[in-house]
Amino acid sequence: MRKAGILFPIFSLPANYGIGTLGKGAYDFVDFLKEAGQSVWQILPLGPTGSGDSPYQSFSSFAGNPYFIDLETLISDGLLTKAECDAIDFGSNPLDIDYEKLYFGRFKLYRKAYDRAKKKGILDENKYKKFIKNNSYWIKDYALYMAVKDSFGGVNFMEWDEPIRRRDKKAIATYEKKLADEIECYKFQQFLFATQWEKLKKYANKKGIEIIGDIPIYVAFDSADTWANPELFELDPKGFPTKVAGCPPDCFTADGQLWGNPLYNWPEHKKTGYKWWLNRMKKCFELYDIVRIDHFRGFDEYWAVPYGDKTAVGGKWLKGPGYSLFAAINKEFGNGRIIAEDLGFITDSVRNLIKKCGYPGMKILEFGCDGNSGNPYLPHNYKDTNTVLYVGTHDNETLAGWLKNRERWQFDWMKGYFGILKDEELHMQIIRKTYESTADTVIFQMQDLLKLDNHARINEPATCGSNWQWRMLPGAEKKVDVKYLDWMAGMFSRK
């Protein structure tokens, strides 16, 4: 079935108290999607953000981001007061997120909410106990990890005292007793997140909107995943990575991209029947209708950079698990729906892996407009309709920003390709031609429908300091011609 949808991160939703949440703004956006004839909402990873505030560097592959808990819902539930929330400085710019202020403000409020929930007996209710039991395979490690991390001032777990860093049983028992309330508070945050997310997802699904979730291929080194499962990663006897993840040099970055994530010990994963991955995908299919796996080519071959290198230049390609991992996933989850992010330099081996898995890949229209009519990213060259087409993703310029930065010859070439005469018509004609394409699914960034330039860009790879911060102003969605979007969705069989 052909579909159309919008890529819009939770953190970019309009909301009070510093960041987009699972509250009213999210429900309003679902209503907007429905009115615009869309059937898909793609979000970015939902995990707790760590280094650089990136959702791709999370403290856990299983936990939800506490920042997305809607405070106004907690006020309605009697766990917080409006005065308490209003007293916190979350930043004054409605277009940007101040993560430092979120960190110092929100967790104080969550502790108050936890203390009140405890007094109300919420932690003794069957719903809470059932949630803890159903998530026991990850939540105990995560909550302990976060509580211990706080007790050491937030430093990387490699700087903790040796016994707890190495997960000595006596040390774990000591910290579980010493930090019992803090540990339970982190569990309670996850309960709040899960309760709000489940309610939102049900609302979206009832409206005919499916959620595409996004998971990074790798985990952060400073994470509960690495700390709790060191045997699953390429670490030396002291616990440091031997090699880390990245991308080789290309036409965009002369030094490549040094991500720094620990690499998987794939033989160990295979020995366990990929148990950790099956648990991860189990959680994903609980949260999302469709799962997009970032950097899919890394399962075929991955770029391994010696730990300590300053750039990714010295890395080399190593073989990944290949089809054996996805055979296990497909066997376990049957019809679980996955999108393979197959961008970048893709070999025949990667193409064969994706084809064998049966997953749709991705196309980026911005990549196709280089003046070469044979470019595989141009719609008339698609040989397989089993693909997801984007004008650009969160890693690309917005459409308006990208058009602004094109040279005149390239702009004129695109006018010819997309069949228009006036410069100002090109933006919306690109969106229309995307709808017309043979790709089964087409997805647009919300910024592109709003015609926003690069001040609204979500992420610029290989940079830090200004990413993951853009928020949409309240009411901005009213500037979008929803009747035209709905018409196109119907005209091109996408609803």
Query: Would you please indicate which residues are annotated as catalytic (active-site) residues?
Result: 294, 341, 395
* Gap between the Cα atoms of 378 and 373, Å rounded: 7
**Cα 147 to Cα 151, 181, 392, 491, distances in angstroms:** 6, 9, 39, 53
Q: Which amino acid, 330? A: N
Are 288 and 212 in contact by the 8 Å Cβ rule? The answer is yes
Are 102 and 468 in contact by the 8 Å Cβ rule? The answer is no
Q: Partners of 213 in the beta sheet?
A: 291
The residue among 6, 82, 2 whose CA lies nearest residue 40 is 6
The angle subtended at Cα 340 by Cα 35 and Cα 21, nearest 5°, is 45
* Gap between the Cα atoms of 413 and 415, Å rounded: 5
The angle subtended at Cα 462 by Cα 461 and Cα 463, nearest 5°, is 90
Are 256 and 249 in contact by the 8 Å Cβ rule? The answer is yes
User: What is the pairing mode between strands 316-319 and 257-262?
Assistant: unpaired
248 is written with which tokens? 């080789």
Are 299 and 354 in contact by the 8 Å Cβ rule? The answer is no
Q: Which amino acid, 265? A: N
Are 143 and 187 in contact by the 8 Å Cβ rule? The answer is yes
Length of the chain equals: 495
Cβ neighbours of residue 114 under 8 Å, at least 6 residues apart? 184, 185, 188, 189
Count the alpha carbons within 13 Å of 368 in the hemisphere toward its beta carbon: 23
Residue listed under structure tokens 């069989």: 493
* Gap between the Cα atoms of 182 and 484, Å rounded: 51
Cβ neighbours of residue 32 under 8 Å, at least 6 residues apart? 477, 480, 482
**Cα 1 to Cα 117, 388, 431, distances in angstroms:** 45, 12, 20
Are 281 and 336 in contact by the 8 Å Cβ rule? The answer is yes
